[in-house]
């Protein structure tokens, strides 16, 4: 079953996992050491992130290393960009209004 990317990043633990592996590939045990939860719970989060293709697995001997899938993260950024432009426009309008109000008070 393929999951939705936004469903995956809605969870704060999964966002924290993404932040951890953004710096370097890590094993599930190394990731789990950063959380006050079970190794099984971390594995479930990793499975969801893998199903969404936000992380990829690389086998090195007996170890599995998880790393960030940059292209999928770019998909999220591209979607957010449309809202970023709206917010920036509104902030600019607010700035102009505040400047106008400030000038009127002088």
Strands 63-68 and 55-60: antiparallel
In this predicted model, what pLDDT tens digit does every residue of 58-100 receive, in sequence order?
999 999 999 999 888 888 888 889 898 899 999 999 999 999 9
Instruction: Show Cβ contacts of residue 11 under 8 Å, excluding neighbours closer than 6 positions.
Output: 45, 48
> Would you say 72 and 54 are in contact if contact means Cβ atoms under 8 Å apart?
yes
- What's the predicted TM-score (pTM) here? 0.75
As to burial, measured by CB atoms within 10 angstroms (0-12 exposed, 13-18 middle, 19+ buried), residue 68 is buried
Token pair in block for residue 80: 């957010």
In this prediction, residue 4 carries a pLDDT of: 83
High-pLDDT (> 90) share of the chain, %: 70
In this prediction, residue 2 carries a pLDDT of: 64
Nearest to 26 by CA among 36, 37, 39: 39
């Amino acid at each position: 079953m393929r999951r939705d990317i936004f469903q995956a990043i809605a969870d704060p633990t999964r966002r924290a996992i993404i932040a951890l592996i953004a710096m370097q590939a890590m094993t599930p045990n190394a990731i789990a050491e950063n959380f006050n939860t079970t190794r099984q719970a971390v594995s479930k989060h990793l499975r969801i992130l893998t199903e969404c293709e936000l992380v990829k697995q690389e086998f090195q001997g007996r170890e599995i290393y998880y790393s960030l899938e940059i292209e999928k993260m770019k998909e999220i950024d591209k979607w957010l960009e449309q809202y970023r432009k709206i917010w920036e426009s509104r902030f600019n309008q607010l700035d102009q209004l505040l400047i106008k109000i400030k000038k009127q008070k002088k």
